[in-house]
Amino acid sequence: MTASAENNKLPKRRMPGRPKKTIRRSDLLMVRLTPTERILIENRAKSAGLKPSEWFRRAAKSARVFPRFTAEESGWFRMLAGLANNLNQLTHLAHVAGLFTLALKCQAVLREIEDLLKKISSHDG
C-alpha cells in the first residue's frame, strides 16, 4: 500500500476546542433596571425557559413602539398652549377693564379651543 492510501483509511481528526459560533455577539448594551423590573424580567424569562438576556433580545426584536404624539397632534397642543396664554391675558384684562368689553374676544377664543379639542378627540383611536 502507498502512503496516500493509508491516509484515506485513517479517521479524520477533529479540531481541538469548542466549535466557533456562527453568530458572535460582540456588542454590549448596559441597561439600568429597578429591582422590581429585574425580578419581573427574570420571572418571565424563567417561565419561557430562556435566560434573561435571550428573553430580553427576543422581546426587543418583537416590541412595537408607538410615538407619543404625531407631529400634527403636537402642533394642536402647542396651539392650545397659546390659546391658554391668550385666555389668561383676556382674564387679566377683564379684571382691569371690565367684563362686558371682552365678551366677544372670549367667545372667539373659546370657539377655537372647542374646535381644537374636537380635532384631538376625533384622532384618539
| DSSP code per residue over the chain | --HHHHHHHSPPPPPSSPPPPSS-----------HHHHHHHHHHHHHHTS-HHHHHHHHHHH-----SS-HHHHHHHHHHHHHHHHHHHHHHHHHHH-SGGGHHHHHHHHHHHHHHHHHHHHH--
* pTM (predicted TM-score): 0.44
Domain definitions of the chain by residue range: 34-65, 71-123
Q: Which pLDDT tens digit goes with each residue over 53-75? A: 999 899 989 888 777 888 888 88
- For residue range 76-119, what is the model confidence (pLDDT) as tens digits? 888 888 888 887 887 777 777 777 667 777 777 778 888 888 88
Q: Each residue of 90-102: pLDDT tens digit? A: 777 777 777 766 7
pLDDT of residue 58: 92
